[in-house]
């Protein structure tokens, strides 16, 4: 299992794999309940919770960064 993670991580670092299309939401960690609610309702597929709040949301979206 961990070998798969390593391969995927290398692919993402080399920009060979774009996972942006599956990320539906980026939320501050404080809004984790909203994130889980979106998942339960089927309104989200991959929700990224960022501990730095709105500052990290903006920065990761601008950089196309995967957290």
Whether the CB-CB separation of 4 and 21 falls below 8 Å is answered with no
Write down the pLDDT at residue 58: 58
- How far apart CA 52 and CA 67 sit, in angstroms, is 12
pLDDT digits over 33-47, tens only? Answer: 999 999 999 999 999
Which ranges constitute the DSSP H helices of the chain?
A: 2-13, 32-40, 54-63
Q: How many domains does the chain have?
A: 1
At 3, list the tokens: 């070998």
What average pLDDT does the chain have? Answer: 84
Residue 13 is assigned to a structural domain of this protein: no
Domain span at residue 54 reads 21-67
Residue 62 is assigned to a structural domain of this protein: yes
pTM of the predicted model over 0.75: no
């Amino acid at each position: 299992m961990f070998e798969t993670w390593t391969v995927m991580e290398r692919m993402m670092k080399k920009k060979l794999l774009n996972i942006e299309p599956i990320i539906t939401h980026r939320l501050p960690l404080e809004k984790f309940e909203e994130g889980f609610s979106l998942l339960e309702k089927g309104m989200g597929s991959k929700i990224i919770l960022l501990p730095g709040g709105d500052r990290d949301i903006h920065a990761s979206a601008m950089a196309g960064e995967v957290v």
